[in-house]
Structure 1
């Protein structure tokens, strides 16, 4: 006689097969196509083109923390960007990612970034970190609606307790809601997406994220991802898995058509040894669509400022920065921020 857990998995797979069949009727790639006028459509097109071209590499998704970091990355060909809650908390407030930022602050930065991307006439999609949704169901509805109005192509919703803490920093001490509440959050986010689409066709994709790996184990992580997929989440994202094998096992359990993210954090300090845990090619080989480097650019900026501070303030740089200190000349900075586009009478 099958165990209850086995029966649940069988039931989930039945629902997955039904959901997949429905999606396939809508689109050959298994993804429901967003309205062509919505920011989500750029993300949809990016992923669809990758799959149709059978590209090996996953799409690199670099985290940004303000409009300037987003502008520089987009100018150099970033296909998609992620507005990191960790990055916004650090750059805007100078504080750790422990629930210090709120929806108003995230929406404000998202608007600045999206406005800059629009002015640059680029279709780079912006995924915005929606954390836990900043509260209960009404808060989640407001979060998705507000970030949609700010131009988000997708919004992440996670299953940490509110206020959240950076998952990797918290480790096994991360506080996670039970599975029923996690599912309810995703259900609310999807309902908010659909409501925005009914009003304006700007509904963002929903990234259903679980941070439960270190608190409840890998098997619970898989079960949550399966339920998020069954609900119809647009992207599945499991944070802080502990090995390549776990990423492989999760991907095998999900429908091949489901859009997925692998997230990585750069830990090594020696620049000569520093490299991603996985390349975009390796992430793609695992079957994932997006390779998220959520705080890499923040680490680079923080490292550069730290080096500059040491040079200028601690090592007697009375005459200005040393010649070997990396910095952009003033003409480059003026060009980046757009002075040449202005006319002065």
Structure 2
């Protein structure tokens, strides 16, 4: 997915540990066009720019495509990151300049690695009545961020979520490992990504990796994370050091959430528009190459040369990393 903000701000990211729970409220961003589908963004924000290597998190829907027009994201570029697409409802057609043509389907993860550079498009299909899901990005570390692009798909099976031997819900682990369930998806840094559904009134103490920082995005109305309540589309951040993450569903309906985790990302990065780089000059160079049609980003089959998203203008000041507390 593209960041379609008309005036995107630079986001510099660095890792830090924290104690307790930090609540990040989402901000609404239109996904382009007059009949724009709104997404709710919790990463990056001024207070929280990363969770492990997770550097971008948009939650959208449930949105009737009859009113929003659905998703119609023309070819656009990426560098230095991986996109992770996860749907609850609907269907999205993915095409990229590496020649990959794939569908994004509910409960199945698609991971595209931009590496040196790639372009892609995302369009909801005519079979889609309601679009509902999350779009996530991962920052690539310096040692592999200039590697060739790649694509991975995985359909994780649903397994029981238990507390004291009793089933209290279900989960699908699409990246990493949780509760004995593991994903074969390869990432450049240690990470976790999972969908959990917690039964009405249920509570679970999840055993988690204490070297990871974690984030919980709730898709339904309410959830209590480590004693702190969050609402729809909000994110609860828990820093490193916790070996148990307690989740409570205080409602009379199932609670659905996305759990993200990872070892703190130790490199400072600059993220502007759809590019992840290390400094202003590099980002400006990516922008120039995209606007000039350079070979770095290739072309996407099925689209004409004028069917692409133009890069917005750079800000007047130089882009620089934004330091988080503790760095």
Instruction: Give the alignment's TM-score, normalised by structure 1.
Output: 0.28
Task: Considering fraction of residues, name the structure with more helix.
Answer: 1
Task: Considering fraction of residues, name the structure with more strand.
Answer: 2
Instruction: Give the alignment's TM-score, normalised by structure 2.
Output: 0.29
